[in-house]
Amino acid sequence: MLQQTIQKAVEVTGIGLHSGEPIRLELEPAPSDSGITFIHAQSGTEIALNPKSVTETRLATVLGKRPNSISTIEHFLAAVYAYGIDNLRVTVYGNEMPVMDGSAISFCMLLDEAGIAKQQAQKSLLVIKKEVRVEQDGKMALLRPAKRPRFNFTIRFDHPVIGEQNFEYQFTKSSFIKEIARARTFGFLRDIQYLQSINLALGASLENAIGLDEHSVLNPEGLRFDNEFVRHKILDAMGDMMVLGATVIGEYSAVASSHELNHLLTMKLLESSDAYEIVRFGQKEESYELAKVFA
């Protein structure tokens, strides 16, 4: 299985979730073995995609140091994960990715427009060899061995529309587009009002998130899935695992995890040298049924 980039440069403009300002995003092909690089356009700062580049996780996953940081990368990276892209240059004209409709489907459409290009080098896989787990305040996230990417997420919210939801998901590119990519981020009206009072979430609206009051969903069109909330958490987790910079072969499982806990999990994994192995596809090809996963 060969590495992949995109066939041609593409761009899109959308609103920044926190700034409320227009953000232009440009994607360009990149050479084999160069990885995924984010470029903060105004400063020219280049940020390599890896867990050590993550500087904040309170409201989103953030790469790089202020004032040249780039926020809310997780929805975009979930699409990059799903499309099996290894090498890419990502230029952002602002300090955050455009939020689009609050899901990953617009980024899937952008990658479809760009097209996928096979490269000469074999794809690198990050294969989980033994369980790594992090826990914090009753929340948990882990990675453990599996022959193909799997995700299992449980959320619990004291809200009549959400309650407890669990979703088990075996990844393929086609199932991601159908089952995960359209799941939107969500927020509670009381929290959004507070964030806007401190000049955050200025771009949040019912056009790019599911809004909830104390009792119901505020969006006139309702939900896209009955369990859209937990599906979006899996979308977030896929993006946060893509920060590792390689396709993860293993099972991710979580209870009420967050961007912070996901980041701690990736850091702990990298600190546990016996818990993973970087394998070039083809070295152990008989162990993985991956060619059809990214088809």
CB-CB contact of 251 with 151 (8 Å): yes
Give the Cα-Cα-Cα angle 184, 190, 195 (nearest 5 degrees).
80
Average pLDDT, the chain: 94
Q: Tell me: the pLDDT tens digits for 56-75?
A: 998 899 999 999 999 999 99
Quickly list H helices, 95-169: 105-114
pLDDT value at 288 more than 60: no
Q: What is the distance between the alpha carbons of residues 235 and 77, in angstroms, rounded to a whole number? A: 9
Q: What is the distance between the alpha carbons of residues 134 and 141, in angstroms, rounded to a whole number? A: 6
Q: What is the distance between the alpha carbons of residues 248 and 17, in angstroms, rounded to a whole number? A: 28
| Unique residue bearing structure tokens 């509670």 | 188
Q: Tell me: the pLDDT tens digits for 114-141?
A: 999 999 999 999 999 999 999 999 999 9
- Residue 226's Cβ-count burial label (10 Å; 0-12, 13-18, 19+) is exposed
Question: Which residues are part of the catalytic machinery?
Answer: 259
What is the pLDDT confidence band of residue 194, given thresholds at 50, 70 and 90?
A: confident
Quickly list H helices, the chain: 74-82, 105-114, 173-179, 189-197, 228-242, 259-271
Q: Which long-range contacts (CB under 8 A, 24 or more apart) does 55-58 make?
A: 57/258, 57/259, 57/260, 57/262, 57/263, 58/259, 58/260
Domains belonging to the chain, first-starting first, are 2-122 (3.30.230.20), 125-287 (3.30.1700.10)
